[in-house]
Chains A and B, each alone.
Chain A
Amino acid sequence: MGFKSYGEHGVNMLPDTVHKLPQSERFAYARLLAYMTRVDNELTVEEMSMFEQRLGTALLSPKQRQMIRADLKNPPPLEECLEDLGEEAGRLALRDAVLMAASDGTVDEDEREALEEIAEHLDLLPDAVNRLLKWTVEGYTWMQAGYDLLNNLSR
């Protein structure tokens, strides 16, 4: 398996491949994220925003969105979420689960445990979650640099 940023369109900056997954896997991906929103029993605005962003990227059908929103209220067991995830979808879901867990500025013990469980299910390296968290911190730093840039664009 190999992730490509943007296949046939050449070099691009901000690609994603979630929308290219089969619909059933995009649904499974979204269910896992819905599960993650409830791991620490609180749903912050930042987490909700990140969840909605990823849901948008996945281009789910209206019916699927309804089901995912129901999952937000009654999250399915983790094992059930992981069942339908293929290798690529699983890795993307783990990446985005890390983004969501970190979106409110902290990753608590329960969230960390869930992330490790997902990584283990996907048979990833023991430091997978740590590496993804490091990447996430770098990403937020980059985003902050973007805001700094926006604040300094005046003549």
Chain B
Amino acid sequence: MIVLLPDAALSLSEEQRRKIACTLVMVAASDGALVREEISAIESAMGAMMLHPESREEVRQLLTQPPELDSLLEGMETAAIRLALRDAALLASLLHYKELSIADIKTHCDEKRIIIRN
């Protein structure tokens, strides 16, 4: 059983949390444009996850050069992927046309055939 507590992201390592933030950048940038609302949402997520200032700076650098989904998911733990999926869904809800990226992530999760063990 994967335990996802209210502070689930905080229990992940810095690297896993950074990857979640990078996933959000990828989703937000998927249409080739980043609006203020999306940047605010990403900054909010980074704050909630209490990312180290250096990690935040790294994530901000990606705003102009978004990462590839495959490279992000490489090495991501199941809990981190699911939290990224949740937060990407929240972010995507900001603008309708973000839905494609969400579908991409879900497909990838399905491909990994994650099994939750009791």
Contacts and interface: CB of A to CB of B under 8 A. Distances in A.
Best-buried of B1, B48, B109, B116 by chain A (most CB within 10 Å): B48
B45 interface: yes
Interface residues of A, number: 34
A149 B116 CA distance: 13
B73 to A, nearest CB: 16
B33 interface: no
If over half of A's interface residues share one DSSP class (helix, strand or loop), that class is named, otherwise mixed; here it is: helix
Contacts of A155: 110, 113
Contacts of B115: 154
If over half of B's interface residues share one DSSP class (helix, strand or loop), that class is named, otherwise mixed; here it is: helix
Given A46-B7, A49-B48, A147-B6, A59 B94 contact: no
B6 A150 contact: no
B34 interface: no
Contacts of B94: 6, 9, 12, 14-15
A95 interface: no
Nearest to B115: A154
Instruction: Report, as a range, how many residues of chain B touch the other chain.
Output: 35 or more
Interface string B90-118: 10011110000000000001100111100
B27 to A, nearest CB: 14
Given A12-B93, A154-B116, A59 B40 contact: yes
A15 B90 CA distance: 10
Nearest to B36: A19
Interface of A: 6, 9-10, 12-16, 18-19, 45-46, 48-59, 140, 143-144, 146-147, 150-151, 153-155
6 contacts: A19-B40, A49-B7, A59-B36, A143-B6, A144-B6, A155-B113
